[in-house]
């Protein structure tokens, strides 16, 4: 599968090089002609007089050149080197320097009248910061792994079953933890719609917003033979995930007893989801566990 982390990392390299090289070029121009005349910037110098210590620091562009070189130039170029070397610090620094650029532009907003250049660069900083954050999240998501050898007791109790649907593997891990604890067999609900990647996220979002069921592969297991079933689902748009909604509809009347495990990004208890599952299955659940899961780190809520 295409790595979203590598795509975001490449975009971050673009931003750090674009901002870094631009800043070094600008600073060089200021050093070559500190009056700013050569770059047509001398008319801007009076605006700098609003800043503290202007009579010492902003009589020409020498100090501004150093500030630009250090704050936006060398910093971004350093981040780009880390990114080329695929070092983790590159993503962190690239994102932080996007924020630094926005702060730098805030000073310009204070000094200059509203202008196209400053506004554009503020947005460049914003895009850089967002790209850095996205790369950081994607890296964590793609490194999340589950090793089934860690769950040797799964399937040792033929009277219990754990059912789950999972896009990124977070619910899958909780399902296996649960099955390892009780010895239950495991059944994965598989959607026939696209659920993976960025496109899959938005496609799932559409189903979630409408509270629709989603087409799933035929439920190939005899649910009536289990004394107890644990159903594990992610929360989608404050509600039950669409594939588990489809499963519950198909399983209606076939499950004797069930408890639920619900995973979500936020803290809280989704009692509405337990009620919906109860209504679909025509039973009353024995227990409901809410798990707050952020990039694989879990906390019961
Ligand atoms: C379409 C969609 C909608 C979501 N809506 C919510 C939500 O309303 N509240 C929440 O806390 N998490 C929400 N999430 C986050 C998931 O519930 C959470 O990341 C869960 O751990 C996903 O597990 P999985 O990747 O194993 O399927 C949503 C995720 C998706 C894909």
Distance 25 CA to ligand 1 centre (A): 45
Cα 84 to averaged position of ligand 1 atoms, centre (Å)? 32
What percentage of the chain reaches a pLDDT higher than 90? 97
pLDDT of 2 reads 83
Q: Which fold has domain 148-300?
A: Rossmann fold (3.40.50)
pTM here is 0.87
pLDDT, one tens digit per residue, over 45-77 is 999 999 999 999 999 999 999 999 999 999 999
Nearest Cα neighbor of 286 from 297, 274, 272 is 274
Cα distances (angstroms) measured from residue 280 to each of 14, 50, 210, 213, 221: 50, 67, 17, 12, 18
Q: Show me where the domains of the chain are located.
A: 4-143, 148-300
pLDDT at 1 over 80: no
Q: Is the pLDDT of residue 101 over 90?
A: yes
Q: Which atom of ligand 1 is nearest to the CA of 195?
A: 31
| Residue for token pair 């639920």 | 260
Distance CA(251)–CA(239), nearest Å, equals 19
Task: Answer yes or no: is the C-beta of 283 below 6 A from any ligand 1 atom.
Answer: no
Ligand 1 in reach of 237 Cβ (< 6 A): yes
Q: Is 235 in the pocket of ligand 1 (CB under 6 A)?
A: yes
The terminus-to-terminus CA distance of the chain in angstroms comes to 33
- Is residue 232 within 8 A of residue 293, CB to CB? The reply is no
Could you write out the three-class secondary structure of the chain?
CCCHHHHHHHHHHHHHHHHHHHHHHHHHHHHHCCCCCCCCCHHHHHHHHHCCCHHHHCCCCHHHHHHHHHHHHHHHHHHHHHHHCCCHHHHHHHHHHHHHHHHHHHHHHHHCCCCHHHHHHHHHHHHHHHHHHHHHHHHHHHHCCCCHHHCCCCCCCCCEEEEECCCCCHHHHHHHHHHHHHCCEEEECCECCCCCHHHHHHHHHHHHHHCCCCCECCCCCCHHHCCEEEEEEEEECCEECHHHHHHHHHHCCCCCCEEEEEEECCCCCCHHHHHHHHHHHCCCCCCEEEEEEECCEEEEC
Q: Count the Cβ atoms, other than its own, within 10 Å of residue 145.
A: 8
Kindly give the distance from the C-alpha atom of residue 291 to the centroid of ligand 1, in angstroms, as a whole number.
11
The rounded distance, in Å, linking the Cα atoms of 232 and 252 is 16
In short, whether 204's Cβ falls inside 6 Å of ligand 1 is yes
CA-239 nearest atom, ligand 1? 8
- Which band of pLDDT confidence, cut at 50, 70 and 90, is reported for residue 191? very high
Residue nearest to atom 30 of ligand 1 (CA): 236
222 C-alpha to center of ligand 1: Å?
A: 28
pLDDT in tens, 75-87: 999 999 999 999 9
């Amino acid at each position: 599968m295409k790595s979203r982390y590598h795509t975001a990392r490449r975009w971050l390299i673009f931003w750090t090089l674009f901002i870094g090289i631009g800043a070094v070029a600008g600073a060089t121009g200021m050093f070559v002609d500190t009056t700013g005349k050569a770059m047509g910037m001398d008319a801007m110098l009076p605006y700098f007089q609003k800043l503290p210590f202007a009579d010492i620091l902003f009589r020409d562009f020498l100090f501004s050149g150093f500030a630009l070189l250090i704050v936006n130039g060398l910093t971004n170029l350093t981040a780009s080197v880390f990114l080329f070397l695929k070092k983790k610090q590159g993503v962190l620094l690239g994102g932080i320097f996007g924020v630094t650029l926005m702060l730098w532009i805030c000073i310009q907003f204070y000094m200059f009248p509203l202008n196209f250049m400053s506004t554009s660069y503020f947005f460049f900083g914003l895009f850089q910061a967002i790209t850095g954050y996205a790369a950081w999240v994607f890296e964590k998501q793609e490194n999340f792994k589950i090793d089934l050898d860690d769950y040797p007791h799964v399937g040792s109790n033929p009277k219990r079953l754990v059912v789950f649907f999972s896009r990124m593997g977070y619910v899958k891990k909780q399902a296996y933890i649960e099955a390892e604890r009780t010895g239950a067999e495991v059944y994965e609900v598989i959607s026939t719609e696209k659920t993976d990647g960025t496109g899959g996220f938005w496609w799932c979002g559409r189903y979630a917003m409408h509270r629709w069921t989603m087409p799933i592969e035929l439920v190939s297991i005899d649910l009536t033979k289990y004394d107890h079933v644990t159903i594990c689902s992610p929360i989608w748009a404050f509600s039950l995930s669409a594939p588990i909604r489809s499963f519950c509809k198909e399983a209606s009347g076939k499950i004797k007893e069930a408890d639920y495990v619900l995973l979500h990004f936020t803290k809280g208890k989704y009692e509405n989801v337990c009620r919906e599952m109860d209504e679909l299955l025509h039973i009353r659940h024995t227990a409901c566990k809410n798990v707050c899961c952020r990039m694989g780190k879990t906390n019961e809520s």
